[in-house]
Every structure is written in structure tokens, then in C-alpha cells.
Structure 1
Amino acid sequence: MMLLAVSILSTLVIGAIGLASGRDSLEKAAFDQLVSVRESRHREIERTFDEIRSAVLLDSRNSSTVDASRRFNAAFAELQGETLPPDADSVVAAYYDDTFIPQLEERTQKTSDAAAFVPDSNAQRYLQYYYTAPFTDFDEAIKLDDAEDGSAWSEAHAKYHGYFREMTLQLGYEDALMLDTKGNVVYSAYSGVDLGTNVLSGPYAGGALTTAFQNSLRANVVDAVELTDFDRYQPSLGTPTAWAVSPIGDAGEITGALAVQLPIATINDVMTGSEGWKAEGLGNTGEVYLAGPDKTMRSASRLLIEHPDRFIDQVVSAGVSPQIAERAVAVNGTILLLPVDTTAVNEALRGQTGTAIATGYDGQEALVAYEPLDIEGVQWAIVAKIDSAEAFQPVSDFTRNVLLSIAGIVLAVCLLSLLLAQVFTRPVRGLVGAVRRVAAGETGIEVDASSRDEFGDLGAAFNDMSRNLQLKADLIEAQRMENEKLLHTLMPENVARRYREGEETIAEDHQDVSVVFADLVGTDAYFASHDSAEALAAVNGLVLGFDAAAAKLGIERVRTLRDGYLASCGLLVPRVDNVRRALDFAIEMRQVVQRFNSANGTSLDVRIGVDAGTVTSGLVGRENVAYDMWGDAVNIANAVRGASASPGIYVSDRVQSRLRDAYGFEQTDSDVDGTAVWRWVAEESRA
């Protein structure tokens, strides 16, 4: 390793000097190229917005627009008192329910309530009945010149719509609106659901359009143009929408405002160079994009356009949520959607201009050139980027030559190092063998630790570890034995063995088994009058007495509760006299309780039911298993126990018929499933 380190270090020093020199030169050239492209796009996007501003300003001031504004304003006011067709409300409501809301929900992936958008004014319902509701496609709605309803508004629409339609289509606007001074949308080129609404008080109020409209009228001059940032506009199905708004009028009067939706396609064409990235020197990964103050894109992503299949994986790996990435692919757009919270964007939004090597929005290291975009009305950042791997591709050739030289030197030194390594690794082999024996399960393994060097220290540390492992193995074995003992207190040994072997369903049927089902009478009052710990200790003492009696008579305890005890005879060990043993155990249980009463001055008693017959035993539960017994004999034993509220020993017909010659019984007034219940009588016990 020392020989390798000296050789590699000297080679790396020489290679690092060459790499640094080459990288610096290439970085400068790459950054210069990026800055040049950024400046070019900056000038072009500013020119595009200037052209839009000029076009909107000219359109809002020409006589046709001023005349149209006056005509539409007056006609719209008349429609407030116009009589609606009988089916107007139902047709418009059906349009929202069946066309607009489904389209809006599909586009936004959010649930919307049609009641929030249905027109609330007479004029709005009138216009949407004739110009909006008949169409399911906005591209079809813009073709209609006259609904031939005979209204003054339709006359104005027939006269001026052709002009505004051509303006909208030729300039690529997403829509063009005319508003009166009260904020009513008196005209829409595409006759969308915003036709007739009020941007100040209607369902779409409060957005960027509302602010721009108010600012344009507040300026009180006809040569003002308000530009807005992108905002989601519900009438356009929630797509990102930016506006240019200018007052309509002449020197004497402002009649309203002209609002056009900025053409997203035009902005994307400028920022992508009409998707000619390579022609502008941006290679396979370079691009220029816009970002807004919310740190999301304001133009298209090259990665999404060229490689939608890779887009999701890359941006998700960079920290974008899968839902946003999938949504961007679904709508084929990134405006207001794709986060670009990068160093370049943050610096540009703070007003800084510069270059850097930083992580891009796709998670790749990139060369970036950034600056703020100076357009009145918006605060955007413009960023040019190209992946470092592509920008520094020429460095790879030089790096390869250096690495080949290093590899040759390392190979020669490695051969010598292999010979020397044999001397140093001999003690390690012994330690490796010992480790493998420990890994195989052996304990108490030790190695020679007599050498006075690092290998001796390592051997001593291994021996300490081995002894600790032996100690822990002993503790684990002791714990296992304790667990085994605890398991045998919860279930019989043969059931515990099957449970340890992994059986999940353990159940056995037994044909001739006696069942003893007992409950203590008076425990509730006892617990209420004594401390909880003291009362529980007393009950535990009773249970210990029951367990001792069970062991003496060959009775198998199944489970115990605070005031209950379930046992059997003949379940695990078949016994021909299981019925007699069961009754003797029941009698002994009463004697245990009586002795407890005498010693403690209490008045507890026990009510016991005994039956014999078929039962099933097994484990119940998955996470918290419990050994239990059930079946006909258990049910009847429980039933005869509950046949009377008085303490005592109660048996079924089957038990009485088998023991009536040896014990005394008296028939009770109760029966179980049509058979008599018998009570054991102490005065007539066996002779």
C-alpha cells in the first residue's frame, strides 16, 4: 500500500495539474457560449413582449375597437332586461354540468362544483345560452358570427367579431376579451364561460386579470398596457394564463379595457429557439428557460419536449413529487408546474447576474448562466444551462490518457506489493479462520495474541469478543429455558412442541373428556372492599389451591380468569374414571374455598358445572395465542353451572347417570337443552 500510495500520488499530482488547466479553459469557453445564448434569448423575449405590448396598445386605441366597445357596452346593458328563452337556464346549466365541469376536472384533476360557475346575471345567461352553450369546443365557438337572436349585442358581434377573431388567430392570442368600466366581460373571442362575468365580483374575480384591469383603469390614460405573470385561469380550464390589458378609448373617454391572453406557444418558441437547441450551440442537454417568483417554470422544458419518457425519472430523482412530474407529462407543459428552486433561479430573482456550476432542476450538475428579466409587470429569471458532462466532454479524452498511464504504473507496483503482502497477511489468515469458526456457530475460540504489534492487539481484541460471545450465548440459552418453562405454563407440552415447530393451526378432537367449569361467587364485592393488589393476591392463592388439587387428582387446567376456572380430565391423558375425578376435583374446589373463608373471614363460594363428552382443544389467535378448549361438553358444563344462581356443584344427566351409585344428587328445576340438571348433595356422598 505504501508503494502504491507513493506511485499513485505522484501520478495524480501531474494529472491534476493538467486536468485543472484543461477544465479551466473549457469552463471559460462553455460559460462564454452560455452567456451569449442567454443574452440572445433575453433580447428576443423582451422584443416579443414589446411587440405584444405595441399590438395591444394599437388595437385598444383604434376606432374599430373604440366603436365596438361602445356598442358592446350598450348592448350588454340592454341584455340585463332582455327576456330569456324558456329553456335558457336549463340549457346553460346542462352545459356546465355536461361540458365545462368535466373538461375542467379532467384538465385540473380536481373536483369542481358547477353551482359556483353558473351565470348569475340575466345578460350572462343570455349570452352563454346563444354563444357558449351550443359548443363543446372553443375552436368551434370562435367561428360563430351571429346567433341570429335579433339582439343589439348579436348585431355588434356580427359586425366586429370578424376583426377580433382574425386579430386573435393571427397574433396567436389564447383569447381576447373586452370589458366595460364596471368589470363586465362584454365580449370574448372564443365565447368562453367568462363571457358576461364580472372580473371584480364574479366567480373568477381576484386573479391576475382583476388586478391588471384595475391598474389599467386607474392609470386613466389610454396608452397604458398592464402585463401580468402567469396564473391559472379557470375559464381556460385552469391552464396557465398571462394577460396584457390596455384601456379602450380616445382622448375624451375611456370606455373599458382590452385584455388578451398572451400566446404561450410564442413564448416557448422564443425560449426554445423553435426547438433548435443544437443549432445555437446548446448540444444535447442545453436549454434556456424562464422562472417566476414562485420558482416554477414560465416556459417549456427541453427534457419534457424531447424525452418525456426520461423526464419523470430524472425530475423525481431531483426531488420533484411524482404527481407533479406525471402531471407535466400529461398536460405536456411545465409552466406554473415544474419547480426550479435552483441556485441560478434564486440568484436571478434576487437581481443578480452571473454564472456557476450548480445542480439543475433535473438533478444533473450543469453550467448555468442567469440574470433577471427586465419586463415591466413581471418579475422573472432567465437561465441558460448545459450539463457539465456534455460541456466538459473534451476533458474525458485527456482524463483517459492520464488514467491509462496511472493504470500502467499501478499494475507494476501491484505485482511487487503482492509479494510483500504475503509477509504481512500471514497472521491475518489465522484470524480469518477463527472468525469463520465463530460465524459457523462455535464458541470459546481463541487465537494467538503473543506478538507485540498491531496483529497481537487485534488477536487480543478478538479473544475478548469471543469470550463475550460465549457469555451472551449462555445468557441466551438460560433465557430460552425460562421461555420454555413459561410456555409450558400456558399450554401442554405436546401443544407447545407443535407451536415451536411452526404449526399455525393446532387443534385436536377428544371423545371422552370430563369438563369442570367453575366461577367464584362474591369476588366483585370482595374486590370492591379490598385493595386491588391485596384482592388479586387472595384470588391467586385460591387458584394455587385449585392447581394443587388438580395436580393431585390428575386434572388438567385449561385456563383461569379472575373469577373463573376451566379444567378437564382425560384430555391429555385418557382416564377411564375421568368423570369421578372431575367430580372429586369440584368437591375439593369447594373445600379450598371454605378453607380460605375460614382463614380470611370471607364469604366467597363457588358455582361449578360438570359434564362429560366430546371436546376440541387447541391454540386460538395469531399474534397473541391462547390455549383453549371448546365443544359440546364445555358448553353443557357452562350451561349447567349457570342453571342456578346459588353456589354448588351442578352436573348433567350424563355425569349423574355414571356416578349416581357413588354420590348423592338431587334434581333441580332447571334443564339444559331438554335434559335435567342435578345438584351434588354433600350429605349423600359416597359411602
Structure 2
Amino acid sequence: MLLGVSLVSALIIGAVGFVNGRNSLHASSIDQLTTIREMRTHEMKVALEDVQRTASLNSRNLSAQNMSKALNAGFDELQGQTLPADQEAALDGFYADRFVPALEKRTGDQYGSGAFVPESAAGRWIQAHYTARNTTLDDAGYEKMLKTDDGGDGTTYSAAAARYGDYFSRLVTQAGYEDVLLLNLTGDVVYSAYKGPELGSNLDIGPLRDSKLADAYRKAIATNSVDTVVMTDFERWVPSMGTPSMWIVSPIGNDDGITGALAIQLPLSFVNNVMTGSNGWKGQGLGTTGEVYLVGRDGLMRSISREVVEHPKQYVQTAVDHGTPPAAAKRAAEVGGTVLIQPITGDAVTRAQSGKSGTLEGSDYISGSSVVSYGPLDVDGLDWVVIARIDSSEAFAPVDDFTRIVLISLLGIMLAVALLSLLLAQVFTRPINRLVTAVHQVAEGDLDVQVPAGSRDEFGDLGSAFNDMASSLRIKQQLIDDQREENERLMHTLMPQSVAEKYKQGEEAITEAHDNVSVVFAELIGFDDHSRSLTAEEEIAQLNTLMRGFDEAAERAGVEKVRTLHGGYLASSGLIVPRVDNVRRAVEFARSLREVLERFNAQNGTAIGLRAGVDTGAVTSGLVARTSLAYDLWGDAVNLAYRVRSVSGDPGIYVSQEVRDRTAELVEYVEAGTVEVRGKAETVWKVA
């Protein structure tokens, strides 16, 4: 019972705790992922809004205004310049020999060698004196061009660039921008901090006319307001070797009017650092598999994948296994990034793009089972959604750990309860076992058994009650045994043991035939006359005295008392114990009765006489009247013994002829008369 109740209680409590704990941990894991996603969303929004404010402030800066006017004027002057043939050739060689081959290798696309040569004279001039001087097209080459503002050609443009170029250089180096462009009102890129292929190009008619930068420029200029800030989505910026770039464009000028536009190129790291926490995923609660990334309306990533950063060799196979086209996965691994490469599909993106936020579980681009938290990024000009994901196995690892701990704890509790129950069961059942053993002993007849009282509890009370019961049974059994012994003694006084045994066994008719038995029938003469002068108590007392004397005489003579009557006594010899001298014993017993009576008369001054008859022969003994027990003796010998004692009215001991014949040598007889036995006379003799 203790084990059952304890186990059921432990199971119920464990189940309730398990369900509640599991649900709480499950919800906590999802809430944590949602919190991280919301934090990243907020940080991204703040960062983009901050760069927009910075762009707006910088476009209003007096240096920017002065530089715009000076460079615009210098660029216009260059429209009338003719580029020398050698410089023209050097410019063509730059694209044909260095830039276009590097671009094609990087992007895998095909470009014409003259595709990026500006159509305007001013454009070709400044590219020849700036862009074409980048001989390496690597980081060192671009860093060198960042510090080169004087074209060395003595033009107004070079003078203005040398004077104001440091302002743009500091924007790039201090703010971490990828590039800063200055455009005039006709779409010409009149300045670039890194002096790349976009320098001198026209966004309205040049090779970059279909770019997002061109669209943003036209939108910003169309407002004719310095308060305008236009931000673009990522695009593959060809002048940067196809690297995804996004732009912030703001008109340059003041309340009197605008002179151009400032275009800030945001690097990939700007977005990636915010979304990855500067690659600090694990330290910011995303474990070993979690990440937060951006997805555009086209279903492509707008930030880098953690898998590409941490496991570039495994990324391709893992991404392909979960639905990414092999070409896209391979390309992402090659360039070490997933922006505008890695496609993202599924319910999370669809719901987020419809403006919903929430969480779900399912497969994603890198895992078969992930927990995903999704929501839109509310920033003007961008149609992005924020996705936070983590492998389900890791997200719910605390749940699994909790489940394991609960199960282990529950099993431990169950084992402890089982062991405790076994121990307590031994303690509880020990007194019961003692009682059971004692009860068996009582059932086997051992009423002397006692059990230790034990503790002062129900078992102790039960033990005490059992001891009291055993003592009571022992006393009652003793009384019963004493009563049984008394009954046996009384029964044996009423009948022979053989008859008593048959009676106890329930026999209805109990008789026994005996062939050689001597019978003595004695009666008192004159006792009735004597008793009239006595009280009832005195009469019974004197009669008992005589009967005890007769019993003692029977015992001495070896005869058996058959029954006692008021004033009479019937005995036999050889009835119960066969004796060859039963006749002699019977005669001696009769003579002993006379002696007993003589002593009684002498003691009490009475004159009571004795008349006894003795015969021998076949008799029958048995119980008469079952409801009122009476052991009796009958037969010819009994009948003759009764009759011979009455052959004369005088006291004396009278015997039959056969008795006289068998004891004539021992006892002296005199003839007393005759009785009729079966139609003929038989002599009766009297002891002299």
C-alpha cells in the first residue's frame, strides 16, 4: 500500500511537474529566440535610421556644398578637354587587361572591354587620371586611391578634389563606409572616394543606369529637397566586382536649392555585423546553431549565414541537402557570403512578408528541424524580414535535459520508495508475522504462547489483545479440561470405561454380553425406619457414609459398582476386568458389606441389617434411557441374585447353588430354602 500510494503520488507529481516544466522550458526557448530576433530587428532599424540621418547631415554640410559646387564646375570644364591618345589607350587597357577580366572571374558573367568607359570627355578624363592608376585592384590599390585626390593634371577639377577630397576620405575611414560618391544634377558621378569605375559615369545614360543607385538618385533629385533621404536594397554593384551593396542617397544643398547628391555605399559588414553581433552568436544566446538573418522580397538572404562563416566546408553539402540549388550553395561558399545568393523559402518568410510576426517549427535552408521566429523589418525603402532560427535539438536541449533529470529523479524516487517500502514492510509486518505464528501455535493447541507487546501503537495493542486472548483461552481450556476430567471421573463412576468410550463416540445402543460374571445385590434393612428420625441432610449424610464404605469395600475386593439405589447396592465381579476368582471376590465383597454395616451401627447406635444375594453366570450390561443416563446390568445371574436374597425375610448373605459349589471350601454355608428357576427348584444357601 505504501509503495502503491507513493509510486502513484510520485508519478502524478512527476507528470504534472514534467508537463509544466517542459512547457515552460519550451516556451522559454521560443521566447528567448523571439527576444533575440526583436533585439536584432531593433538594432538593424536603429543602425539604418542612424546612417540615414548621417547622410542627411553630411549632405547639408558646408564642405559638401562647397565641394559639390567646385567639383561640378571642374567636371564641366573637363567636358571640353580631349584625352591624349596614350591616356585613352591606357584607359582602354585598364578595362581590357585588368578590370573586366577580374570582374568576369569574380562574377562569372561576360562584359565588353569598353562597357564601363564613360561617354563624356570629362568622365574619360578623370578615369584616365584616377581610376586607371589603380594597377592592382586589391585592397592596397584601393587604399592608395583613397588617398590620391590630386590628379596631377593641373585642372580645376584636380585642385577641387585635392582641396575637398579629405572630407570624403574621412567619411569612409571614420564611418566605415564602402565608398562615398558625389553626383551633379545631370547624373554624372563627379567624385568617388575610391575612384573606381563608377567615377565619371552617368547614371542616366551610362552602364549603371539600371542600377538601384540610379533609381535612388533620380528619386532624390526629383524631390529637390535637402531633407530627402533615399535608401536602396542590396544590389550587385559591378564597379565593386559584383559585391552586394546598398546606397543612401541625399541631395546636397540648402534651402536655396540643390547642387547634386551625396551617395553613401554601405558595405556588407554594416548589415552583417548588426545581424551576427559581430560573429558573436554563441555569446549572445544563440548557442552553436542559432542565427538571425535578413530576407528580401525576392526570397534571397540580405545578411550572411552563420554556417558559411563557421563551417564553410560543410555548408555546401548541408545547404544542398535541405533544398538549396547546388550552384547557389557553391557560389556562396566561393565568395564567403550568402547575400543575394542563398534562397530562403517556407512559411516563416511568407508570413513575415505579409506583415506577421510569430514562431514555428519546421525545416529551413540548413536544418531539417528548426525553431524559427519571424517578423518584418519596418524601415522605409526596404522590404526585408528578419528570421531568427536555431536547431530544434539545441533549442529544446534544456527541455530534453529537464526530461532526463525528471525521469532519473522519478526513477530514483521510485527506487528509494520501493526500498523504503520493503524496509518498512518488514518493520510493519514483523509483529503481524509474530501474531500469525502465534495464531498457528494456538490453532495447534499451544495456549501458552505469548507475543512481545512491542511498540505503543496499533500493533502493540493488537499484540497485547492477543496475549489477553491467549491467556483467556488458556484459562478456559484449563477449566474445560478440569470439567472434562470431572466428567470422565463421574462417567467412570456411572459406567465402565469401555461403555463410556462408546458413549462419547455417539453410539445410540450400547450393550455388552458377559459369560462369567458374579453379581452381588445388597439392600439395607431398617434404614427407612431409622431415617424417619433424621433430617434430610442427616439422612443423605449417613447414606453417603454407608455408600462410601461400600465403595471402599468394592475397591478392596476388586469388584465393580454397577449402580447405587436408595437403600440398595448392585455390584459385579469379572464384568469389566475378567477374573477367574470372580465368585470368591463377590462373596468376600458381600461379607465386607456386612462388616461395614456393623461398624456403622456401632458408631451410630443403629440396628440396620443387610440382606445380600450373590449369583454367577451370564449377564448383559449397557446404557438405559439415552436422555437420562443409567448404566444397568441384567440377565439370569442378576435376576437370581435379586431373588436369592429374598428367599427369607431375615438379614444375611444368600448365594445360589453354583456360588456355593465354587466357594464351599472357603466359606461355610447353611441351607436357607429354594427358589424356582426356569420351572425347577434351586437350593439357596446362606453364609453362616
* TM-score normalized with structure 1 length: 0.55
How much has 1:267 moved relative to structure 2? Answer: 1.6
Alpha-carbon displacement from aligned partner over 1:606-635 (angstroms, at most 9, x marks no partner) = xxxxxxxxxxxxxxxxxxxxxxxxxxxxxx
Q: Which residue of 2 aligns with 1:64?
A: 63
Q: State the distance in 2 between where 1:127 and 1:277 align.
A: 45
Correspondence 1:30 to 2:29: yes
Seen in structure 2, the aligned counterparts of structure 1 residues 389 and 178 have a Cα distance that, compared at 3 Å, is same
Corresponding residue to 1:278 among 278, 282, 298 = 282
Instruction: Tell me how far apart the structure 2 counterparts of residues 83 and 263 of structure 1 sit (CA, whole Å).
Output: 35
Summarize deviations over 1:189-210 as a string: whole Å, max 9, x none: 1111111111011011111111
Deviations 1:488-517 (A, max 9, x none): xxxxxxxxxxxxxxxxxxxxxxxxxxxxxx
Q: CA deviation at 1:364?
A: 2.9
Counterpart check, 1:322 vs 2:326: yes
* Aligned position for 2:42: 43
> Which amino acid in 1 is paired with 2:39?
S
- Consecutive unaligned residues in structure 2, runs of 5 or more: 1-10, 412-688
Q: Verify the 8 A CA contact 2:348 2:372 in the aligned structure 1.
A: yes
Alignment of structure 1 residues 4-153 onto 2, 5 Å: 22-135=21-134, 136-137=136-137, 138-153=142-157
Pick the aligned partner of 2:316 from 312, 315, 319. Answer: 312
Q: In the alignment, is residue 300 of structure 1 matched against residue 299 of structure 2?
A: no
Letter in 1 for 2:146: I
Q: Is the 8 A contact 1:277 1:286 kept in 2?
A: yes
What is the SS of the residue equivalent to 2:49?
A: helix
**Aligned residues of 2:26 and 2:399 also touching (Cα < 8 A):** no
Q: C-alpha displacement at 1:177, in angstroms? A: 0.6
- Secondary structure, counterpart of 2:378 in structure 1: strand
Cα distance in structure 2, aligned partners of 1:405 and 1:34 = 29
Matches within 5 A, 1:148-547: 148-397=152-401
Q: Quickly say closer, same or farther: Cα 1:43–1:398, change in 2 above 3 A.
A: closer
Mapped contact 2:118–2:202 kept (Cα < 8 A): no
Q: Is the 8 A contact 2:367 2:391 kept in 1?
A: no
CA-CA distance at 1:307 after TM superposition: 1.1
1:140 partner letter: K
- The CA distance in 2 between the partners of 1:349 and 1:285, in whole Å, is 24
Structure-1 separation of matches of 2:390 and 2:102: 38
* Alignment CA distance shift 1:280-1:69 (3 Å): same
Q: Distance in 1 between matches of 2:13 and 2:361?
A: 24
* 78 and 359 in structure 1: CA distance in 2 versus 1, 3 angstrom threshold: same
Q: Give the drift of 1:301.
A: 0.9
Asked whether the equivalents of residues 220 and 251 of structure 2 are also in contact (C-alpha less than 8 Å), the reply is yes
Residue 371 of structure 2 aligns with an amino acid whose one-letter code is L
**Letter paired with 2:48:** F
Amino acid aligned to 2:237: Y
Map Cα deviations across residues 373-416 of structure 1 (whole Å, 9 max, x no partner): 01111110011111100011134346668999999xxxxxxxxx
The Cα offsets for residues 232-256 of structure 1, whole Å up to 9 and x where unpaired, read as 1111111111000000011111101
> Which amino acid is the alignment partner of residue 270 of structure 1?
V
Going from structure 1 to structure 2, the CA distance change for 1:115 and 1:17 (only over 3 Å counts) comes to: farther
**Partner AA of 1:180 in structure 2:** N
Letter aligned with residue 210 of structure 1: A
Q: Work out the CA distance in 2 between the residues paired with 1:210 and 1:204.
A: 7
**1:254-300 deviation digits (Å, cap 9, x = unpaired):** 10100011132122111111111122211111111111111111111
Task: Supply the distance in 1 between the matched residues of 2:406 and 2:276 (Cα, whole angstroms).
Answer: 38
Return closer, same or farther for 1:180/1:401 CA change in 2, 3 Å cut-off.
Answer: closer
| Conservation of the 8 A alpha-carbon contact between 2:96 and 2:114 | no
Map 1:636-651 onto structure 2 (within 5 A): none
Does structure 1 conserve the Cα–Cα contact (< 8 Å) formed by 2:225 and 2:257? no
**Structure 2 counterpart of 1:74, which letter?**
A
Amino acid paired to 2:83: L
* C-alpha distance in 1 between matches for 2:342 and 2:163: 43
**Aligned residue type for 1:90:** A
Task: Name the SS for the 1:203 alignment partner.
Answer: coil
Task: Note closer, same or farther for the CA distance 1:405–1:70 as it changes in structure 2 (3 Å cut).
Answer: closer
Residue type of the alignment partner of 2:27: K
Q: Distance in 2 between matches of 1:36 and 1:155?
A: 53
Contact 1:145 1:158 in 2 (8 A): yes
Secondary structure of 2:114's match?
helix
| Distance (Å, rounded) in 1 between the aligned partners of 2:193 and 2:144 | 11
Equivalence for 1:589: none
Q: Write the distance in 2 (CA, Å) between the matches of 1:37 and 1:401.
A: 27
The answer (yes or no) to whether the contact 1:297–1:339 under 8 Å persists in 2 is yes
Q: Distance in 1 between matches of 2:132 and 2:15?
A: 71
- For residue 77 of structure 1, report the CA deviation from its aligned partner: 1.1
Determine the C-alpha separation between the residues in 2 that align with 1:228 and 1:200: 17
Counterpart CA distance in 1 for 2:392 and 2:177 is 37
The question of whether the paired residues in 1 share the 8 Å contact of 2:22 and 2:403 is answered with no
The answer (yes or no) to whether the contact 2:181–2:193 under 8 Å persists in 1 is yes
Displacement of 1:13: 13
Is residue 301–residue 338 contact of structure 2 (8 Å, CA) maintained in 1?
yes
Amino acid at match of 1:126: W
**Paired position in structure 2 for 1:598:** none
Instruction: Give the Cα–Cα distance (whole angstroms) in 2 for the partners of residues 152 and 257 of structure 1.
Output: 20
CA offset digits 1:58-77 (Å, max 9, x no partner): 11001110111011111111
Q: Is the 8 A contact 1:23 1:392 kept in 2?
A: no
Alpha-carbon separation, structure 1, partners of 2:146 and 2:309: 29
Call closer, same or farther: CA 1:81–1:112 in 2, change over 3 Å.
Answer: same
* Identity rate, percent: 46
Unaligned runs of 5+ in 1: 1-11, 408-687
Which entry has the higher C-alpha Rg, 1 or 2?
2
Aligned to 1:588: none
Counterpart amino acid of residue 103 in structure 1: A
CA contact (8 A) 1:285 1:390 kept: yes
Distance 1:19 1:201, change over 3 A: farther
8 Å CA contact retained: 1:351, 1:371: yes
Assess, with a 3 A threshold, how the Cα gap between structure 1 residues 316 and 198 changes in structure 2: closer, same or farther. same
Q: Residue type of the partner of 1:302?
A: R
The structure-2 alpha-carbon separation of the partners of 1:267 and 1:401, relative to structure 1 and needing over 3 Å to count, comes to: closer
Contact 2:189 2:202 in 1 (8 A): yes
Which sits farther off after the overlay, 118-127 or 244-253? 118-127
- State whether residues 233 and 247 of structure 2, in contact with CA within 8 Å, keep that contact through their aligned partners in structure 1: yes
SS in 1 for 2:118: coil
Matched-pair contact (CA < 8 Å) for 1:368–1:385? yes
Q: Secondary structure at the match of 1:254?
A: strand
Q: Structure 1 CA distance, aligned partners of 2:218 and 2:15?
A: 62
The change in CA–CA distance for 1:261 and 1:85 in structure 2 (over 3 A counts) is: same
* CA shift in 2, pair 1:398/1:378, >3 Å: closer
Residues 36-56 of structure 1: CA deviation (Å, up to 9, x unaligned): 111211111111112101111
Separation in structure 2 between the aligned mates of residue 191 and residue 394 of structure 1, nearest angstrom = 54
> How far, CA to CA, are the matches of 1:314 and 1:16 in structure 2?
38
Q: Distance in 1 between matches of 2:333 and 2:183?
A: 35
For the 8 Å contact 1:88–1:125, the answer to whether it is kept is no
The amino acid of 2:168's aligned partner reads F
